[in-house]
Amino acid sequence: MTETVLEVKNLCKTFIKDGVETEAVRNVSFELSAGEILGVAGESGSGKSTLSRLCMGLLRPDSGEIYVCGEKLGKSSIKNLRPKIQMVFQNPADTFNPAYSVGSGLIGAGRDLGLEKQECREKISELLKTTGLAESVLKRRPKELSGGQLQRLAIVRALLCGPRVLIADEAVSSLDVSVSANIINLLSDLRESLGIAILFISHDLAVIGHISDRVGVMYKGELVEIGDTEKVLGSPKHEYTKRLLDARL
């Protein structure tokens, strides 16, 4: 039986701005198994990014529960669970301190997660090979590197502590087509070589369809459809999914 590494139960999150309530995530439930890639699709404002931040513990839900490797995510457990679940964000340039070399940033991230300095260096060196980067990039500052290089380094940083779950939130949307394809292929390879589970969030159904084992579709904060990629994208049941597919044609 495949191990469940991320379980979300009846998750809800409402934001209030200028007295107006917006249900960003409404009663969302799903499971993610070890070695699986679950794609979450939906237009801007559908709740995808809020869902990803809730799963990371960056936001607290109004109600519902999140379990990482069987342990409930909460205020008291988030520090211990952080090495097990990591995230790659949309714009990698925003996630590196421009005042320091990327190598210093990676070592600092590893140290924050409890790794010894030498262990950090060894893991960084190994992961650079895995992601197709030369060690020379470590001496450079973020502004000296391309978006594709920075996103690969963001993946290196996320993998330093050997997480069981990787959340990729629009991780290729800011990259050009060829670089985006390379990052997608890298994530697929990492799933195969490391057995890591990936929650892949994107508005692009073509990308979702290429990389995912299963697809979930979000609409106005709800997970309106979820299932095997071929079934959801080939024979959608929900009208919103059909509209997304029609818009792609």
Q: Is residue 169 part of a domain?
A: yes
Q: Is residue 199 part of a domain?
A: yes
Instruction: Quote the pTM value.
Output: 0.92
* Total domains in the fold of the chain: 1
Q: What pLDDT does residue 1 have?
A: 61
Distance between CA atoms of 143 and 140, rounded to whole angstroms?
8
Residue 106 dihedral angles phi and psi, to the nearest 5°: -65, -45
What CATH number is attached to the domain comprising 243?
3.40.50.300
Q: What CA dihedral angle connects 45, 196, 187 and 227, to 10 degrees?
A: -50
> What are the tens digits of pLDDT across the range 146-196?
888 999 999 999 999 999 999 999 888 767 777 788 889 889 998 998 999
Strand 71-72 versus strand 63-68 pairing type:
antiparallel
Q: Could you tell me the two tokens for 167?
A: 């959340």
Instruction: Give CA separation, 176 vs 2, 8, 68, 154, 173, in Å.
Output: 35, 32, 33, 17, 8
pLDDT at 107 over 80: yes
Q: Is residue 84 part of a domain?
A: yes
Domain residues for 69? 4-91+163-248
Counting residues of the chain whose pLDDT is more than 70, the rounded percentage is 98
Distance between CA atoms of 249 and 241, rounded to whole angstroms?
13
Q: Is residue 146 part of a domain?
A: no
Mean confidence (pLDDT) of the chain? 91
Q: Is residue 138 part of a domain?
A: no
Q: Is residue 242 part of a domain?
A: yes
Give the chain's largest Cα–Cα span.
Answer: 53
Angle between helices 102-112 and 117-131 (to 10 degrees): 120
> What are the tens digits of pLDDT across the range 61-90?
999 999 999 999 998 899 889 999 999 988
Q: Is residue 233 part of a domain?
A: yes
Q: What pLDDT does residue 249 have?
A: 52
Mean pLDDT of 107-122: 89
pLDDT at 112 over 90: no
Q: Is residue 133 part of a domain?
A: no
